[in-house]
Structure 1
Amino acid sequence: MRNSRTNLRSYADARALVTGGCSGLGLELVKLLVAEGARVLVGDVHEEAPAGTLPLGVQYRQLDVRSDEQWDEARVWVETHWQGLDLLVNNAGVAAGGRIDVTSMDDWKWIVDINLLGVVRGCRTFTPMLKEQRGGQIVNTASLAGLVHSPAMASYNSVKAGVVALSETLLHELSPWNIVVTVICPSFFRTNLASSLQGKDVEMEETAVDLITKAPRGAVEVAAAAYAGMKAGKFIVLTDPDGRIAYNSKRFSRPVYTATMKRAGKSLAKGGPAIPPLVAKMQARMAQRSK
């Protein structure tokens, strides 16, 4: 439902399902929804929500996004208790990184099943319901890595790019039913996502942990920007300035972007930083070109 004065979507009394809602970005989005008066169901991998984690009044179900059965159970719960859904937030995800010749196929299958197919399952499960009621919103959490593809992150880049592609497809496919689709693309921010890292490329993952833990923003700031984009009905929501610079460099100054990525690859080959500070380099070169 939209506020006629501001043209912003209102979540007051909205029926919302948020996956990965017990921590990080998902939990902060849950808090914002509750503060606006939404009815919220959180799905996460825990058998029970960690004590004291969720705001009062929030419902909880165990929902491993790899499980078709648990997705079906969540749909039945929504049908039984709410008779419909206004907002689906596919936020659950894990982190991974690594060079293409080091990352194992088991690690590829793990991240694809959670970060990409987990979103696919959510969309497939609830699209019939949203079509039947002729309206609703799907919000998928991707990453800046879905738009800007630095070296040594092949698996993570690929699944997040897949979420962006899926979201764009559904944006057009579902518009005749008045279903709005939003994809959130944050860059590194402080979260517990680093705890999910696993794989053989330990050196690359140590760099990723360092970037996450030392990021200038936390989940609260990222959630606020994401929430504003959701309410405005934007398609791609870039939650931070460095993400916008990196993405716009790729879109509007492609030679700068390509040169930066190539230098990053050369640095990596010589034993340099695994995930170099690409945004800072892009900013500097774009500033030089503008003089």
Structure 2
Amino acid sequence: MTNLTSGTRVLVTGASSGLGLALAQQLAEAGCRVLATDVHADAPAELADLGDLTYLTLDVTQDAHWDRAHEWVVENFDGLDVLVNNAGVAAGGRIEFTEMDQWQWIVDINLLGTVRGCRRFVPLLKEQGSGHIVNIASAAGLVHAPSMSEYNSVKAAVVALSETLRHELNPFDVKVSVVCPTFFKTNLGTSMRGKDEAALRAASKLINGSDRTADGIAREVLKQVRRGAYLILPDRDAIMAYHAKRVARPVYDRMMFKAAARLAAKSRGKA
């Protein structure tokens, strides 16, 4: 069980929008002491007047920014109870459309940004003998749809990192959770990079057409973090996709092959 009530000290990355913003808001409303961070110089208006919440500029690709966040936490919180590695970006496209600078961009943010956060704060959590790391991955880290090679790869790596740390940190009473939602309404679609127009349109349609919201996903995530869950599947589609791959692999493969065929047909103007 992880306490997320009055006085709990939490750092959230990528807190200016989407799931990060929703998590920071709900944590602050629950009485937690929140350090909300993002790459932007100024905090969004949505984070104003939310109790014990402070905003700090943090580019997760920069070691110096993580050092500054660590110093702030030690000086102002005298420790940390929960680290939420949420900051992330999206990219899509079939492999021949993906360029190496795009791969490097998403690896630096989605994977190495999470790695940097864990590396910087794990010594503190181990010294405390307590704490909880919450890594935001994606259902794409568990089930690997076509035309998402970059995103699938980095999110799968975050899942692998989280499982490794779960075992590695258990002797120190430090918990680890990895969060794997499917598509929900967010601005991720508008910031998605890639040159495969057919794939980007398909991804944007799934994001914009979802009836799930960041607030709803955040509520489920925090409920399961409180329970100490490791693998958090916060929506029904994520649960179904995960179990379909595990117990009905031929059906899962047929679905993925059909999705790839539809995309190929659209790109050729046949559908």
The one of 28, 32, 36 aligned to 2:30: 36
- Equivalent residue number for residue 178 of structure 2: 183
1:2-58 Cα offsets, whole Å, 9 max, x none, are 4xxxxx634331110000112111111112211221100011011111234342431
Query: In the alignment, is the contact (CA less than 8 A) between 2:36 and 2:56 conserved in 1?
Result: yes
Q: How does 1:194-205 map to 2 (within 5 A)?
A: 194-205=189-200
Distance in structure 2 (CA, Å) of the matches to 1:266 and 1:173: 41
Query: Paired residues, what number?
Result: 267
Q: 1:263: Cα distance to partner?
A: 2.3
TM-score (norm 1): 0.88
1:1-291 counterparts in 2 under 5 A?
2=1, 9-54=3-48, 55-271=50-266
Query: What is the distance in 1 between the residues matched to 2:45 and 2:222?
Result: 25
Q: What's the Cα RMSD here?
A: 1.5
Report the more deviating stretch, 248-257 or 9-18: 9-18
Q: Distance in 2 between matches of 1:11 and 1:165?
A: 29
Q: 1:9 to 1:83 in 2, by over 3 A?
A: closer
5+ residue gaps, structure 2, are: none
CA distance in 2, matches of 1:73, 1:183: 25
1:82, distance to aligned residue in structure 2 (A)? 1.3
Q: Equivalent residue of 1:98, what SS?
A: coil
Cα displacement string for residues 209-237 of structure 1 (whole angstroms, at most 9, x for unaligned residues): 12111111111111111111111111111
Name the amino acid aligned to 2:241: A
1:228-254 CA distances to partner (integer Å, 9 max, x unpaired)? 111111111111111111110001111
Equivalent residue for 1:287? none
Deviation sequence 1:100-158 (CA, Å, 0-9, x none): 01111111110010001000000000000000001100000000100010000000000
Give distance in 1, aligned partners of 2:16 and 2:72: 19
**Partner Cα separation in structure 1 for residue 76 and residue 3 of structure 2:** 23
Distance 1:37 1:91 in 2: 20
CA contact (8 A) 1:9 1:233 kept: no
Q: Distance in 1 between matches of 2:233 and 2:267?
A: 28
Give the drift of 1:91: 0.3
Question: How much identity, in percent, do the aligned residues show?
Answer: 52
Aligned counterparts of 1:173 and 1:89: Cα–Cα separation in 2: 18
TM-score, normalization by structure 2? 0.95
Q: Is the 8 A contact 1:152 1:204 kept in 2?
A: yes
Does the CA-based 8 Å contact 1:184-1:238 persist in structure 2?
yes
Structure 1 residue 168: deviation in Å?
0.4
In 1, Cα distance between equivalents of 2:32 and 2:51 = 12
How big is the shift at 1:90? 0.2
Contact kept? 1:17, 1:43, Cα under 8 Å: yes
- Checking the alignment, whether the CA contact within 8 Å between 2:4 and 2:27 is kept in structure 1 is no
Between stretches 165-174 and 190-199, larger displacement belongs to 190-199
CA deviation digits over 1:183-222, x for unaligned, max 9?
A: 1111000011122212222221122112111111111111
Task: Measure, in 2, the Cα distance between the counterparts of 1:10 and 1:44.
Answer: 21
Q: Residues of 2 paired with 1:180 and 1:271: CA distance?
A: 45
